[in-house]
């Protein structure tokens, strides 16, 4: 008999069976939870000591590499997870969203981490702001690991993705996780955690797993810890108002069920492609994962004139959906996650029927396809109609977490916005329109109540990832009823697990703290040109003040002829005199090129490539006769552990460049990005 184990303080715990976990397909028992109690105080302490120590022995870049290694390992072993996922009622496509979607999120965070996070464990969130007139005192922000543990309490519908989308940014941030999956589908999460352990990429203490309840876990949390939650609004409320969470101001991020919308704009009629796209999107959202997605469409808002056409088309499409055992050919929709969940959804439909008509479903002649499926948690799609959606409650309040949605007619755009807002905050809304003016008017009006807005037209449909897919680079979450939290959204999610602190001091101190050169800080000048140093030998603040160069008319003429840029400001004496500068000035790009000529060390050396500029500004014009000089300073070093195409290890160096004139006025300012070789082995 298979007993799931918790993974606590570095050990797998659990021998004695407790609660049986039945398959959603046929009711057979897939696994049991364990009876052995968990010492939550020990789990938290272990995370805070062993976990934090091992995670912070690595830096952002190393953790990003570890995430990638883990994702590659998981991908190689995904069939083990697919086999278990089937029992949750998932079709192959549903499992792919959960399993491959989860791995995709790991890959995505690994690559964002490599690209956007520094070496070390301090994120500098610039820009530095001068706080005094003479740049002796400045301020900036840093983000650092919190030194606590993150407790992630997840929902039953995405046992793999739900864990990984929270784990990835937490791990990058250097925070150990204690993961508590929903019990009903925890057998898939347990298998995923075993694979993560087996990958060898997970430092000891970085991940613990709870099978079953959380006991007194929240009582042991402290100020440096965080809690995230996905599930029902009622559990979110219960947990966020836990006395210890409140007393210690422990950050609590919730993502709860919400009454998401799909809105058909009045410019779309059944002759348009957007009408078909709208129907397809709604049907997909109602049936993928049997409608058990926090982002699924629950309310379908259509112009009164199109109500009948939309209702007919949805009924036609939904009645073609074959539900049953996903292993059987032709089955397009699987089961709900458990019999309890099925009973909950049926009860919610009954409550919806008090204010809505039922257009499809519930006739009693539904038969899921497949052996033993009469014992499974199956439910056919239900389409309801609320004729009076301006009334509060009903379909604006009741979330039937299954293949269920309610049609609502509206007459004006303002009415559509008001009806959508009656859901009191949602994760996502799709707007189907052909008219950019409607999108331009409606989206800002809708945005206050919705975490994400997906505008669907024929062009977007060619590549759209769909209404229901949270993407790692975009924020997931929503206001009000949707939990009021934020997840994903690129590096933003990593920042949720870091402490942001304002730092004030002299530029020299700020440079030492942030690990980045700050203008006005003491520079290091030696006989050696900074371009002649290998990556490891270069120091932050290492600087070169170049010789000077007087700009002549010949420079301007030559540069204009070479580049073909004969703009009047450089070539037309009269027009230039009439301009705000009152005289001819050098091309900005000439100044850039001349500065490069001043600061490069031309011989072969460790600087391998210049791959771009950031933050370029031309500040003071350079007329004929002005004399310019450049200062090049090593600003930031990032070791991404990369090698050049021919196998030489290299790192990224960002150089601060200031170009000044004879009056010491700043002429041009920018960062140069280069690849610099590491010392030969």
**CB 658 to ligand NDP: min, Å:** 50
Catalytic residue among 177, 294, 342, 386: 294
Q: At what angle do helices 161-172 and 92-116 cross, to 10 degrees?
A: 10
H/E segment holding residue 98? helix 92-116
Nearest approach, Cβ of residue 156 and ligand NDP (Å):
5
HEC letters along 482-514: HCCEEEECCHHHHHHCEEEEEEEECHHHHHHHH
Q: What letter would DSSP give residue 623?
A: B
**In which element (H, E) is residue 607 found?**
strand 607-618
Q: What letter does residue 303 receive in the DSSP assignment?
A: E
Cβ proximity to ligand NDP, 262 vs 345, nearer residue: 345
CA atoms within 13 A on the CB side of 340: 6
Give the span between the Cα atoms of 566 and 34, in whole angstroms. 79
What CA–CA distance (Å, rounded) separates 396 from 414?
17
- Contact positions vs ligand NDP (CB under 6 A): 153-157, 180, 182-184, 213-214, 230-232, 235, 238-239, 255-257, 294, 344, 399, 401
Catalytic annotation present for 487: no
Q: How near is the Cβ of 122 to ligand NDP at its closest, in Å?
A: 34
Q: Output phi, psi for 2, to 5 deg.
A: -85, 125
CB of 427 to ligand NDP, least distance (A): 7
Q: Determine whether 255 is an active site residue.
A: yes
- Per-position DSSP letters for 564-583, written without gaps between them: ----HHHH-HHHHHHSTTSS
The residue among 257 and 457 lying less far from ligand NDP, judged by its C-beta, is 257
Nearer to ligand NDP by Cβ, of 66 and 342: the residue is 342
Nearer to ligand NDP, 488 or 622 (CB): 488
Q: Exposed (0-12), middle (13-18) or buried (19+): which is 1, by Cβ within 10 Å?
A: exposed
Q: Could you tell me the smallest distance in angstroms from the CB atom of residue 82 to ligand NDP?
A: 21
Rounded (5°) CA angle 586-591-597: 135
- CB-wise, 94 or 274, nearer to ligand NDP? 94
How many other CB atoms sit within 10 Å of the CB of residue 441? 16
Query: Residue 308: in which H helix or E strand, if any?
Result: helix 307-318
Measure the CA–CA gap between 127 and 143, rounded to whole angstroms: 13
Residue number with the smallest Cβ distance to ligand NDP: 231
| CB-nearer residue toward ligand NDP: 114 or 481 | 481
List all residues 6 or more positions away from 70 whose beta carbon is below 8 Å from its beta carbon.
106, 196, 199, 201, 202
Q: How far is the CB of 474 from ligand NDP (least distance, A)?
A: 16
Nearer to ligand NDP, 225 or 255 (CB): 255
Q: Tell me, what DSSP letter sits at residue 637?
A: E
Instruction: Report the C-alpha gap between 577 and 563 in whole angstroms.
Output: 23
Minimum separation from the CB atom of position 611 to ligand NDP (A): 41
**Cβ(381)–Cβ(287) below 8 Å:** yes
Closest CA to 418 of 275, 299, 294: 299
Beta carbons within 8 Å of 509's beta carbon, 6+ residues apart:
none
Q: How far is the CB of 214 from ligand NDP (least distance, A)?
A: 4
In the block, residue with structure tokens 């939290």: 485
State both tokens at 485: 């939290």
- Whole-angstrom Cα distance, residue 260 to residue 454? 11
**605, 669 Cβ separation under 8 angstroms:** no
**Per annotation, catalytic residue among 165, 255, 274, 487:** 255
Min dist. Cβ of residue 180 to ligand NDP (A): 6
Specify the residue, 184 or 318, whose C-beta has the smaller distance to ligand NDP. 184
Nearer to ligand NDP, 234 or 412 (CB): 234
> Which positions are catalytic?
255, 294
């Amino acid at each position: 008999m298979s007993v799931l184990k918790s993974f606590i303080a570095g050990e797998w715990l659990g021998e004695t069976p407790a609660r049986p976990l039945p398959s959603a397909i046929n009711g057979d028992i897939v696994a049991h939870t364990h009876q052995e109690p968990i010492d939550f105080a020990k789990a938290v302490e272990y995370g805070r000591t062993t976990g934090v120590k091992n995670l912070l022995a690595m830096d952002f870049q190393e953790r990003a590499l570890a995430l990638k290694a883990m994702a590659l390992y998981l991908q190689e072993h995904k069939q083990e997870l697919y086999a278990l996922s089937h029992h949750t009622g998932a079709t192959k496509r549903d499992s792919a969203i959960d399993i491959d979607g989860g791995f995709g999120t790991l890959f995505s965070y690994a690559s964002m981490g490599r690209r956007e996070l520094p070496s070390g464990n301090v994120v500098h969130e610039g820009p530095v702001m001068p706080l005094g007139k003479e740049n002796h005192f400045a301020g900036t922000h840093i983000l650092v690991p919190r030194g606590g543990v993150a407790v992630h309490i997840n929902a039953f519908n995405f046992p793999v993705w739900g864990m990984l989308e929270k784990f990835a940014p937490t791990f990058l941030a250097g925070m150990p996780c204690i993961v508590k999956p929903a019990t009903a589908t925890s057998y898939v999460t347990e298998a995923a955690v075993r694979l993560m352990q087996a990958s060898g990429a997970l430092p000891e203490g970085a991940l613990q797993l709870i099978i079953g309840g959380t006991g007194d876990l929240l009582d042991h949390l402290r100020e440096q810890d965080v809690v995230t939650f996905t599930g029902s609004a009622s559990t979110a409320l219960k947990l966020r108002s836990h006395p210890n969470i409140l007393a210690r101001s422990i950050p609590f991020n919730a993502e709860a069920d919400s009454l998401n919308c799909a809105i058909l704009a009045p410019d779309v009629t059944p002759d348009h492609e957007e009408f078909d796209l709208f129907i397809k999107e709604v049907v997909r959202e109602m049936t993928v994962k049997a409608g058990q997605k926090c982002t699924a469409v629950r309310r379908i808002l259509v112009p009164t004139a199109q109500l009948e056409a939309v209702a007919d088309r949805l009924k036609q499409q939904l009645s073609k959906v074959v539900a049953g055992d996903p292993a059987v050919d032709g089955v397009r929709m699987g089961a709900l996650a458990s019999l309890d969940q099925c009973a909950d959804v049926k009860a919610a439909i009954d409550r919806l029927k008090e204010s809505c008509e039922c257009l499809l479903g519930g006739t009693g002649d539904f038969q899921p396809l497949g052996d033993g499926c009469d014992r499974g948690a199956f439910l056919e799609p239900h389409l309801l109609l609320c004729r009076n959606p301006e009334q509060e409650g009903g379909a604006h309040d009741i979330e039937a977490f299954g293949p269920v949605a309610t049609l609502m007619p509206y007459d004006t755009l303002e009415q559509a916005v008001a009806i959508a807002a009656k859901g009191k905050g949602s994760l996502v809304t799709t707007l189907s329109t052909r008219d950019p003016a409607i999108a331009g008017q409606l989206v800002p009006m809708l945005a206050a109540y919705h975490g994400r807005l997906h505008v669907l037209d024929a062009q977007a449909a060619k590549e759209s990832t769909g209404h229901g897919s949270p993407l790692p680079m975009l924020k997931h979450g929503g206001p009000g009823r949707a939990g009021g939290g934020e997840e994903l959204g690129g590096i933003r999610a990593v920042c949720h697990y870091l402490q942001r602190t304002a730092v004030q001091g002299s530029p020299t101190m700020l440079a030492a703290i942030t690990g980045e050169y700050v203008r006005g800080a003491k520079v290091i000048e030696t006989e050696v040109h900074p371009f002649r140093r290998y990556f490891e030998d270069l120091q932050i603040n290492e600087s070169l003040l170049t010789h000077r160069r007087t700009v002549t008319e010949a420079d301007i003429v030559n540069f204009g002829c070479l580049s073909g840029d004969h703009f009047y400001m450089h070539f037309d004496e009269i027009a230039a005199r009439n301009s705000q500068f009152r005289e001819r000035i050098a091309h900005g790009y000439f100044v850039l090129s001349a500065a490069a000529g001043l600061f490069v060390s031309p011989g072969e050396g460790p600087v391998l490539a210049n791959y771009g500029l950031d933050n370029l500004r031309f500040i003071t014009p350079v007329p004929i006769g002005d004399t310019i000089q450049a200062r090049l300073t090593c600003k930031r070093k990032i070791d991404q552990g990369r090698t050049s195409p021919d196998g030489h290890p290299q790192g990224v160096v960002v150089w601060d460049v200031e170009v000044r004139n004879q009056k010491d006025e700043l002429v041009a300012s920018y960062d140069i990005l280069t690849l610099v070789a590491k010392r030969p082995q």
